[in-house]
Each structure stands twice: as C-alpha cells, then as structure tokens.
C-alpha cells in the first residue's frame, strides 16, 4: 500500500483523441475531462462490474437494518433450537444453511450469519470511508502546502511524513484499544471504539497521499496558469485552493478509491485481534477471529465473513484501477 501512485495530471495537455477527430474534419466538440474519463470508464467492463458491486455494498451497508428486518433475523438473536448443545455446532449440513438462514448459523447460540455479515458491513464501510476521508483531507492539505511553498516548510512536512510512516500502527492500535475508556468525546461503548479506529487508521495513513499530492504540486506550481495567477496578485490561499486543488482532483479521487479497500482490511485486522468493536455486535474481522476456532468442524463459518471482505476489497480495487486508467491514461 505504500507504493506511491505515479499519477500525473493530463488535464492541461492536448488530448490525442480530440485532435484526431478534429483532423477528420468533423465538427469539433469540446469535451471536459470528466466526459473523457467517463467515456473511457464505460469501455472498461471490469471497472464497471467493480463499481456496481461497490455501489451495491454501500447500499447494503446503508440499508442493513431494513434488509435484516425483511429477510433475516436480528444479528444478536440466538436460535438455540437449531444448534446441538454438546457439539455447539448447528444441526444440518454446511453449518445449518437453510432457506431461513442463508449463510447458516453461528456456533453455540446460533446467531444468523447472514444478518451478521450484512450488519457487519456497516462498521467496515463506516470506518473505511471516514478514515479515508480523514487521510485524504490531511494528506491533501499537507501535500499541497509542502509542494507549493517548498523550502523549510517542505522539509518539516516531509520529515513529519517519514516519522508517521515509521509508526508501528497496528501495535499502537492494539495498545490503545486496550486502554480505552468506556465513555469519551461524548460517545459511549462501541461508538468510542469506532471513532478511535477511524482516527488511528485515518490519522496515520495521510503521508501516503500527502507524498503524491506534494509531487503533483511540485510540477503544477511551475505551470503557466499558476504563474499567471501569481502575477495577477493572487494570494497563496487562492492559488492553493482555486488553482492547484481542482487540478489535483483526479489523483485524489483515484487514490481515495484505492485507499478504501486497504482501510477495510485494516479495520478487519483490528477487529480480528480484538481491538475493534466489542461483542456481541458483529464485524467482519471479529467474526473471522471467532471462526478460526471452529475451522476444523465448521469451515463455512469462516467462508462468509471472509468472502465479504474478499469481494468488497476486490471490487474497490477493480473500480479504483479502472478509475485510474480512465482519469490518467498515461500511467498504464
């Protein structure tokens, strides 16, 4: 995840397709960057499938309570009649998979795995999106400032990035989760833990995007339009946010899409080691951790949360890849 993306802006350059069309003598139509990107994206079936799954998963996360109330059972509701008390495993083949319980039942008390996977998506999505947002906001500001001003500002920020990149993030997260109070920042219980996960993942991952933005800014600030703005007397604030930032939207967008799956994995890892939300509330990583104990007798328990993480991460990556190709054809 630390590999910097070689994203350079193609926006101010001549577009070969447009030039080609012009040479054929047809009416020249101006097309915006967005239109061109969309055209390219439309041709990329894999990215579209990925994007479709991403939208589906986001919808599932948003409407999880509704879905569960319609076709599942409450995620923490026990169904002990369906579980053998002595072996602790559900009756029936494949972990109790049936028309009632589509993904089977959890061992011991028989909670509906389907509902738990669906509900678990909320934590994953919430943490992944918000922590990505946090990283992107901090990373962009720091990157633009470092790149534009250069000099000692750049030195300080760049070293700061090095420090953050060297931070043993997972260990820190585990230690912090153990020491968390029950109530903090006006939140209670699991909300505290979600907030802390967002903070840890978001706050310590900004240097990756910061470096990319800094590199982009370095090349952009020598451009004519920046010179023009400067010679017209624009203040640095205006140049940063009105001139540079719009030209950085492409790499920001691409990088965000690729950061989300990494953060989903990170959240799952935290939950797996017990630093995530507390039982009985479901999360994918927590379910996986529980499933490892039952692996020898009930492998399907591991399958569904595992599959959920796998499909989600893959979909985001496919979509992100496609988006990068579309927005920035040179980096192929």
Of residues 312, 257, 301, the one with CA closest to residue 59:
312
Answer yes or no: are the C-beta atoms of 315 and 57 closer than 8 Å.
yes
Q: What track of x and - describes contact with another protein for positions 42 through 61 (by CB under 8 A)? A: --xxx--xx-----------
Which range binds another protein by CB under 8 A, 13-21, 32-40, 121-129, 278-286?
278-286
Is residue 102 involved in binding another protein (CB under 8 A)?
Answer: yes
Answer yes or no: are the C-beta atoms of 253 and 38 closer than 8 Å.
no
24 three-class SS:
coil
Is residue 94 involved in binding another protein (CB under 8 A)?
Answer: yes
Q: Which is nearer to another protein, 90 or 207 (CB)?
A: 90
90 three-class SS:
strand
Q: Which is nearer to another protein, 49 or 141 (CB)?
A: 49
Residue from 22, 34, 236, 280 touching another protein (CB under 8 A): that is 280
Give how many residues touch another protein by CB under 8 A. 51
Residue from 54, 83, 145, 260 touching another protein (CB under 8 A): that is 83
Measured CA to CA, the distance from residue 33 to residue 258 in angstroms comes to 20
Residue from 206, 208, 294, 319 touching another protein (CB under 8 A): that is 294
**Residues linked to residue 112 through DSSP beta bridges, in sequence order:** 105
Q: What track of x and - describes contact with another protein for positions 297 through 316 (by CB under 8 A)? A: xx----x---x--xx--x--
Is residue 125 involved in binding another protein (CB under 8 A)?
Answer: no
Measured CA to CA, the distance from residue 31 to residue 157 in angstroms comes to 37
Is residue 171 involved in binding another protein (CB under 8 A)?
Answer: no
Task: Write the DSSP symbol of residue 297.
Answer: T
112 three-class SS:
strand
What torsion, rounded to 10 degrees, do the Cα atoms 255, 223, 11, 158 define?
A: 0
Q: Per the structure block, which two tokens stand in for 285?
A: 């990583």
CB of 195 to another protein, least distance (A): 16
CB of 304 to another protein, least distance (A): 8
Measured CA to CA, the distance from residue 7 to residue 120 in angstroms comes to 34
List of residues contacting another protein (CB under 8 A): 44-46, 49-50, 76, 78, 80-89, 91-94, 96-100, 102, 107-109, 178, 182, 189, 274, 278-280, 290, 293-298, 303, 307, 310-311, 314, 318, 321
């Amino acid at each position: 995840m630390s590999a910097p993306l070689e994203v350079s802006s193609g926006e101010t350059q001549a577009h070969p397709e447009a030039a080609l069309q012009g040479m054929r003598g047809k009416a020249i139509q101006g097309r915006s960057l967005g239109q061109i990107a969309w055209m390219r994206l439309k041709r990329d079936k894999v990215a579209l499938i990925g994007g479709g799954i991403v939208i589906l998963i986001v919808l599932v996360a948003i409407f999880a309570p509704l879905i569960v109330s319609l076709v599942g059972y409450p995620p923490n509701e026990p169904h002990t009649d369906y579980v053998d008390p002595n072996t602790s495993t559900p009756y029936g083949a494949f972990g109790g998979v049936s028309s009632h319980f589509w993904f089977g039942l959890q061992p011991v008390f028989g909670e509906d795995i389907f509902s738990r996977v669906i509900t678990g998506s909320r934590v994953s999505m919430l943490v992944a999106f918000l922590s990505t947002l946090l990283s992107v906001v901090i990373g962009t500001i720091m990157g633009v400032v470092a790149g534009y001003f250069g000099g000692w500002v750049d030195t300080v920020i760049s070293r700061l990035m090095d420090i953050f990149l060297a931070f043993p993030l997972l260990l820190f997260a585990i230690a912090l989760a153990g020491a968390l109070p029950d109530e903090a920042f006006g939140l209670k219980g699991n909300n505290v833990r979600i907030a802390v996960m967002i903070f840890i993942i978001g706050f310590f991952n900004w240097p990756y995007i910061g470096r990319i933005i800094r590199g982009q800014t370095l090349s952009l600030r020598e451009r004519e339009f920046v010179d023009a703005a400067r010679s017209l007397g624009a203040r640095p604030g205006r140049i940063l946010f009105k001139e540079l930032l719009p030209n950085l939207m492409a790499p920001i967008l691409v990088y965000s899409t690729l950061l989300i799956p990494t953060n989903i994995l990170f959240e799952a890892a935290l939950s797996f080691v017990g630093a995530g939300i507390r039982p009985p509330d479901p999360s994918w990583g927590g379910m996986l951790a529980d499933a490892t104990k039952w692996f020898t007798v009930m492998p399907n328990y591991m399958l569904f949360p595992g599959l959920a993480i796998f499909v989600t991460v893959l979909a985001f990556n496919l979509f992100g890849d496609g988006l990068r190709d579309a927005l920035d054809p040179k980096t192929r």
